[in-house]
């Protein structure tokens, strides 16, 4: 499983005038059934030279983890793991920079899994 998020030409973004990032979120009701959430992060091929991306994870409305910042020069896959034990619901929020061109972020988020 994978999703690609980029600052330009996509329909997933929430953007407020004057901000320098796009973000979106997906919410899952996990009903206290899982202990951890794992995912892999890589820059997508359209990542600008000065662009960046990250992922925020919320548990029951509270920010509990933010991934390392992914940049064009991020060579190794970033393995991101978050404890979600006793969570009723979780929110996964990809965020990418969006200034223009070489400052635009692009993220490949893949192999997202919940573990009992």
The pLDDT, as a whole number, for residue 99 is: 77
What is the chain's mean pLDDT, rounded?
Answer: 89
Report whether 60 contacts 46 (CB < 8 A).
no
The span from the first CA to the last CA of the chain, in angstroms, equals 19
Tens-place pLDDT, residues 44-101: 999 999 999 999 999 999 999 999 999 999 999 999 999 999 999 999 999 998 877 7
Helix/strand/coil percent split, the chain, to 5: 5, 55, 45
Please provide the size of the chain in residues: 116
The pLDDT, as a whole number, for residue 103 is: 83
**With 80 as the cut, is the pLDDT of residue 14 above it?**
no
């Amino acid at each position: 499983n994978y999703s690609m998020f980029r600052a330009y030409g996509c329909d997933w973004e929430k953007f407020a005038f004057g901000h320098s990032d796009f973000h979106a979120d997906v919410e899952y009701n996990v009903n206290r059934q899982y202990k951890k959430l794992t995912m892999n992060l890589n820059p997508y091929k359209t990542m600008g030279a000065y662009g960046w991306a990250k992922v925020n994870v919320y548990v029951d409305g509270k920010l509990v983890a933010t991934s390392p910042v992914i940049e064009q020069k991020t060579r190794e896959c970033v393995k991101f793991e978050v404890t979600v034990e006793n969570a009723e619901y979780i929110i996964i929020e990809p965020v990418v920079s969006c200034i223009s061109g070489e400052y635009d972020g692009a993220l490949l988020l893949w192999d997202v899994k919940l573990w009992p």
